[in-house]
Structure formats: C-alpha cells, structure tokens
Structure 1
Amino acid sequence: MDILNDFASWSGLHANITKTEVYFGGVSPSIRAQILQATGFPEGHFPFRYLGIPLNSARNSVEVYDTLITKIQNSLLHWSNTFLSYAGRIQILNSVIFGLANFWCATALLPKTILKRINKICKDYFWNVEPGTRKLVFQSWKCICRPGEEGGFNIKELLSWNKALLAKWLWMLDHDSAGNWAQWNRAYTFPDSSIWQLSIKDRYPESLCSIIKVKDEILARTGSISTGTVFKALQGPAILPKHRVTATLAALRKLPTVDLLVSRGIVIINRCLYSQQIWQGLVLWMNLPTRSNALDTELNWMVQSRGRHHWKHQWRKSCLAAAIYHIWNERNGRIFSGHETQPATLVEQIKNVVKVRLLASTSQGLCIED
C-alpha cells in the first residue's frame, strides 16, 4: 500500500476502492483478514472477467462462453439487415467476428462445442440461412475456410486457429528473449525442466494447461522434442506441392487462366471435351434432342424459355446452372489439388443436386425419374 500511495503521489493515479478487489489463494483466514484491513479493498471471488475474458481458479464451464456467442450473434444481427455480397460477408467474418474470437482463442483451448457453434453461426451468415431453417449449399465450410491458393476464401477455421495461437505462446516459452511472461514461467513454473518435458498439473492455470495440450499434440505428430524439428513441422515443407506453386504463380500474375498454366508447363486439359461429355449426359437425362454443345447457343435457348414456369423448363435451367458450377469446380480441383472426377460420376452428382432443388421448390419435381 505504501508503494501504491507513493505511485499515486507523483502520477495522480489512485486505486479506486469501488473497482478494486483482492483475490486470495492458499492464504489462511487470519492473514486474509489482515490484508483486507490494511488495504481497505473488498474480497473478490472467482470467476471474474478481465478485459472480457473469464478468469477462474478451475476450468471454465461451457456456459462461461455464452457471452462470446452472444457478442457474435449480436454483431451478425446488426449486419444481417444490410445487403452484402459474398465478398462483403467474408470481410465481416474475417474482421469483425474473428476479431471477437481471436482474443478468446489466444488464452486457452476453447471447448469444441463452442467452436462448432461459432462455425455454425458464421456458416449460416455466409450462406444467408435464416435461423431455424435449412438451405442447400454447394460447398462445405471446410472448403470455404481453405487458403485462397487452394480454392478457399481465407476464412479462419477456428479449431485450427485456436491451436495455432497457442502454439505462438509455446514458441515464446521456448525462447529466452520472448518477454517477461515467458521468463517468469521458466523461473517459477518449471525452473528445472523444459516446456517440452512439462506435464499438466492441477496447480497450473488453464492457459498453461492448454499450451501443454498443444505441445503434446505437436510431439505426437512429429515424434521429436527438437524445437527445430517441431517448428519446421508447424511451418510445413520448404518446397510447396506443385499445385500450390501453380496457384501462387497464377495469383501473382493475377491471371489464373488456362493459357497461363499452359505457358508455365503445367499439363492440363485445354479442351472442352470434358464439358461436352457432361452436357451430353444431362441432355439424355432430360430427353432433349441433340444439342450443339455451344455455350452461346445453350444460353440463348435458356433465355427464350425464361418466362415459362412449367416444371420441365425449371428442370432444364437448373441442369444448365448446376453443370456450369460443377464443371468450374472440377477444373479448380484438377488445377489446384490434382483431383479428377469421371464424367459419369459428375453427371450423377449434378442429377442429385437438381432433384433436390426441384423437390424443394415444387411437388411436381416428384415426376422426375432416374
């Protein structure tokens, strides 16, 4: 208290008794009473919040994280009434929503149920799904969260991001010049051992226990306690896979086109035979006469029948839209991941998507046969 009063005498900053509390751990009742009398501060009780983060002497329960869920839902509710493109929604998720979750993810391992709830909220907002309803989507959330060079939208997947943020603290605990927090832990928490040999103990705070869990998972994957080996494993291989190099070059040139990939020596199919096989399979399914397979001709044919509301016209337009999307997705998969789907398999996938779409929009869709 003399130090606090001395600090207040020259800084003008006094401790506010109404906003200051004393928290005890392992202190006898007599000493506790003496401290409370000497300071004049009331005794605080766990759990309490510091900078919005719940602090507790034991592991936090799932209910403690309801505050985070509420903040995210309120933020999205504020933006739900604003018309935004998919690019705008991605910006909201990366800047606003994950800005709220980052602070929590950097303190401890969040329960998987909480992370799944947050991912569900973000996924519904991205696809504009109303609460309590379901909507057919054409891409999994795992694919949406991939990096841009792998065909995703650079949205952080919170389960992996939570571990990555804690791995940063693990790195700090392993380096001598990493700050006062790391030096204090090495001096008082594990003075006679390394962070790589540390095991979870009841007296450790939840944040340190979370770091140890991430450390154990890293060691289980690498099988080594060498810091160089471990962090090389975290950073990934020095030489990127060929499809990632191709995607990076295309992104730098801002021309992710077939011509650019061919000029780089990447062997891909630079013909439309695959698209023709897909469309011909769908034409047979729709019992249409032989088509030209030219995109302009097919689009003009769709425009001419755009005002017709018979279920067969809706069927044909849905087939064309689904074919364009799946062919585009298939080409991305071949370029960036080397994955190839046979035409007959892709035709069946398109059929299933169109059937579900028609069944959801009109009962007459039940008339469609395999």
Structure 2
Amino acid sequence: MAGSGNNAQGLLQSCVRKGKLRLHLLYDHFRQCGNTLSWTKAAWNRALLPKHSFFLVMAMQRKQATIDQLNIRGLYMVNRCILCKMDNECHKHLFFQCSYSSMVWRQILTWLNMHNRTVKLSKEIHWIAGRRACKHLKARWYTSCLGATVYCIWEERNTRIFSGQEHRFDYVVKRIQYLVKVRLLYVTHPSKEGEIVEALDGC
C-alpha cells in the first residue's frame, strides 16, 4: 500500500509545472497506458459526419443493442432480423452477413468502382486503417461511405422496428451517396472540390 501511495505521489509531482498541477499531463499519462487500436484513427476521420464516426466505432466494438444482446440482458424478444426477415439479429449478421445490408454495401462498393471485396465490417475498417484514410482522397470516400452505411443500416433497422416503415435497399443506397457527397464537399479543400464533383457526378 505504501509503495502504491508513493507511486501516485510521484506521478502527481511529475505533472506539476510552476507549482500548479497540469491536468493535461495527467490525462496523457493514463491515455498512454492503453493500446491504441489500429482502426480508431480511420474511424475518427473528418471525412465522416461525427455521428457516423460514433456509430462506426460502436459497431466495431459491438456496442449496438442488437436483439441478441437485449435477450442476454433480460429483455426477451423474438430474435429475427427485421431487414432480411430470415436469420437471427446480431452484430456479425447486421454488418454485413444480412442479405439486405450486404446488398446495400455491395452497391456502394460498385459506386466506388471497388469490386471483388470481402463483405465484412472488421476487414473493411482494417483495410482503411492500413491505407491512411485521412490522407488519400479515394480512401476518404471509402471511409465516409463505410461510416454512412453503418449508420444508415442501423437507422433503417430502427425505423422498421419503431415506426413500421420499410424502405427498399436502393433508397438507403441513395441516402448514403447523398450524405457522402455533402460531407466530402464540406471538408475537402476548395482545390479538390472539382475533382470530387467530377468523380461523383451523376450519382
């Protein structure tokens, strides 16, 4: 106990500058204690709307309250995917084993001229992280599309459950395309705006 108290006191003293405790130094110490996940920088990217980044991180950590998770917590419901109406709902199914969500994501990949890819959320985000999505324009489009897709699939799922309204997959695809175009035009340097408009024109 005495040793741990001395360690804590030493830590606090190391964060003092000119007689004042600097909280940012204390924060930096504890922040460095954990391992930084390779995909987090890709997920928190200006190419994504903040809410899209938030939902993408939640999906990667399997934090969404899917039916299987609600059942584990004691909120018993019939476990059936509201999108495809065939299989049980879980994170793995929703992103993107479900025939509905898989069709949406494949249409987005076609829109990006990216074919023959494995449709799996974890592999998609790790692929982005390996290509420094925050620096390359095409990777920005891809990252923005992935975040918007995860968000819109969850949004469609909740709309069906709570409002009883269903949309065809092509409606969701068009909504994703719109959100991506608006976001990229907002964050991209003016010199790149023409390039983005040309690449996404007619979508």
Number of aligned residues:
121
Residues 308 and 327 of structure 1: CA distance in aligned 2, closer, same or farther (over 3 Å): same
Residue 330 of structure 1 corresponds to 156
Structure 2 regions of 5+ residues with no counterpart? 1-48, 52-66, 88-92
**Which of these two proteins has the greater Rg computed from alpha carbons?**
1
Structure 2 residue 142 is the aligned partner of structure 1 residue 316 = yes
C-alpha distance in structure 2 between counterparts of 1:293 and 1:335, whole Å: 25
CA contact 1:283–1:290 (8 Å) conserved in 2: no
Identical positions, percent: 35
Deviations 1:215-266 (A, max 9, x none): xxxxxxxxxxxxxxxxxxxxxxxxxxxxxxxx9xx9898466xxx4325xx7
- Flag as ranges the 4+ runs of structure 1 deviating above 6 A: 250-253
Q: Which of these residues, 184, 196, 201, is aligned with residue 358 of structure 1?
A: 184
Deviations 1:22-45 (A, max 9, x none): xxxxxxxxxxxxxxxxxxxxxxxx
SS in structure 1 at match of 2:77:
helix
> Highest relative contact order (Cα 8 Å, sep 6+), 1 or 2?
2
C-alpha distance in structure 2 between counterparts of 1:326 and 1:303, whole Å: 22
Residue 31 of structure 1 corresponds to none
C-alpha distance in structure 1 between counterparts of 2:176 and 2:164, whole Å: 21
Task: Tell me the C-alpha RMSD between the 2 structures.
Answer: 3.0
Q: Which of these residues, 326, 340, 346, is aligned with residue 172 of structure 2?
A: 346
Matched ranges for 1:224-263 at <5 A: 254=73, 260-262=76-78
CA contact 1:278–1:347 (8 Å) conserved in 2: yes
Residues 275 and 307 of structure 1: CA distance in aligned 2, closer, same or farther (over 3 Å): closer
C-alpha distance in structure 1 between counterparts of 2:186 and 2:172, whole Å: 21
Q: Which of these residues, 281, 284, 287, is aligned with residue 107 of structure 2?
A: 281
Give TM-score scaled by structure 2 length: 0.51
C-alpha distance in structure 1 between counterparts of 2:105 and 2:199, whole Å: 18
Structure 1 regions of 5+ residues with no counterpart? 1-135, 139-246
CA contact 1:323–1:350 (8 Å) conserved in 2: yes
Matched ranges for 1:1-370 at <5 A: 254=73, 260-262=76-78, 268=82, 269=85, 270=87, 272-306=98-132, 309-362=135-188, 363=190, 364=192, 365-369=196-200, 370=203
Residues 307 and 261 of structure 1: CA distance in aligned 2, closer, same or farther (over 3 Å): same
Give TM-score scaled by structure 1 length: 0.29
C-alpha distance in structure 2 between counterparts of 1:294 and 1:267, whole Å: 17
CA contact 2:133–2:140 (8 Å) conserved in 1: no
C-alpha displacement at 1:312, in angstroms?
1.1
